[in-house]
Amino acid sequence: MIKVITYGTYDLLHEGHIRLLKRAKALGDYLIVGVTSDDYDRSRGKINVSQSLMERIENVRSTGLADEIIVEEYEGQKIDDIRRYGVDIFTVGSDWTGKFDYLKEFCQVIYLERTQGVSSTMLRSSRARVRLGLAGESTILEKFVRECRYVNGVEISGIYNDDLSRIPESLKSLPFVTDNYDALLEKSDAVYVITHPSRHYDDVKHALEQGKHVMCESPIALSENGCKELFDLADSKGLTLFEGIKNAYSMAYWRLILLAKAGKIGDVVSVEATCTSLRDLDLNDKETLKRTWNSVTAWAPNGLLPVFQILGRDYREMRIVTHMLDEESRMDAFTKIEFVYPNAVASVKVGTGAKSEGQLIVSGTKGYIFVPAPWWKTDYFEIRYEDPNENKRYFYQLDGEGIRYEIVAFSKAIETGRNFVYVSRESSEEITKVMEEFHEGNKLIRI
């Protein structure tokens, strides 16, 4: 009996897949089809797959061509499978020509002509397209535009800034450049708001009122009521309002939150997050001060997210200690936000006028999670115990600093009308509560 094996994602099963499977089957007597797992696809940069593993397995099963279906979960599995199943022929489409020649040592390798004019990528792109407008200014925007190219079904409609001279040259080639927010909204289904935080509430509200989905760089507003009002407005209009904290979409970050909550380090007693980035600021230049994010808006949402995700919102006390440089613009050099929970404490240190080690430590009664700097681009963390032999290291591929996954999650939420809750509404509200305390300034401890 001649055994044949082939691998693929088989997302949105199409004619190209079926023709390939038919010819693969005809090469022998028994066909094994390896369907790639979601994790493995993600680790090799395939982030747009729209059907779940179970649906894709069902796609292959429904062709009636596979004698056996297996799941491909890791790099190097092909050699293991060929040995394990006693495979005679390995085959894939001609888009892979040459790539699997190293398997010739183990079995025959045959590349089959790829069917022209159809692919899962094409099918995904031709489904609902989201025209995404950009509002505001930030160095993130250039990365954002670059990362959008990896996301099927999202196209940038244009960019808005109330001062055109502040749009970087590289973004002036976007299809539409304007200083009129309404004009951008008219050309868009959704908007990414990254204006100054003091404008977020108005800019988000206006976009929602115009029937547009919104992803807003955190914080969504500078008051808790403002935040609630925006979510209520989005709900009442059936629109997606998404909080943009890119780290929330990194696989490693998500896993460490789940492990902490699942008791891997016992009961959590402390969360400590530090985020800093030094910059030069002329305190006499009031115009620049007005346009610059202070340390708290620039960094605190990142640090506050794991605190609220792990410890929840029922803290007994919050204390904010800050070194303020300019009262009017609330420009701080560094700020420490502390929380006292019934059985735990948390502290978030942020600064743009001070430098520190940007790490995250979650301490528990049995061990602790350590995420080295810069933890807000999490791809690696360790769980450490009293006995170092029990320590575990975790690594997950992170492409595009998480921005790519954030855009995928946003477009999926728009497409399906469901938010996959990477950042819950409750966390968003708590973040804005902290923003409110800081910007009101009444209870701040100034040093």
Q: At 62, which amino acid appears?
A: S
Task: Please report how close the Cβ of residue 152 comes to ligand CTP at its closest, in angstroms.
Answer: 8
C-beta neighbour count of 319 within 10 angstroms:
14
Closest of 109, 199, 189 to residue 155, by C-alpha: 189
Nearer to ligand CTP, 17 or 200 (CB): 17
Nearer to ligand CTP, 117 or 342 (CB): 117
Nearer to ligand CTP, 8 or 364 (CB): 8
Task: Please report how close the Cβ of residue 328 comes to ligand CTP at its closest, in angstroms.
Answer: 52
Rounded CA-CA distance 360/353 in Å is 20
C-beta neighbour count of 340 within 10 angstroms:
13
| Cα radius of gyration rounded to whole Å, the chain | 25
Task: Please report how close the Cβ of residue 138 comes to ligand CTP at its closest, in angstroms.
Answer: 31
Task: Please report how close the Cβ of residue 104 comes to ligand CTP at its closest, in angstroms.
Answer: 17
Nearer to ligand CTP, 121 or 347 (CB): 121
Contact 428, 434 (CB under 8 A): no
Q: At 292, which amino acid appears?
A: T
Task: Please report how close the Cβ of residue 412 comes to ligand CTP at its closest, in angstroms.
Answer: 16
Could you give phi then psi for residue 206, rounded to 5 degrees? -60, -45
Q: Which residues bind ligand CTP (CB under 6 A)?
A: 8-11, 16-17, 20, 92-93, 95, 114-115, 118-121
Task: Please report how close the Cβ of residue 48 comes to ligand CTP at its closest, in angstroms.
Answer: 7
Rounded CA-CA distance 397/249 in Å is 12
Nearer to ligand CTP, 87 or 431 (CB): 87
Cβ-proximal residue to ligand CTP, closest one: 93
Q: Which residues, in sequence order, are bridge partners of residue 38?
A: none
Nearer to ligand CTP, 19 or 319 (CB): 19
Task: Please report how close the Cβ of residue 405 comes to ligand CTP at its closest, in angstroms.
Answer: 17
How many residues make up the chain in this entry? 447
Q: Spell out the residues 6+ positions from residue 311 whose beta carbon is closer than 8 angstroms to its own.
A: 268, 271, 339, 341, 344, 346
Q: For residue 218, give the DSSP letter.
A: S
Nearer to ligand CTP, 13 or 350 (CB): 13
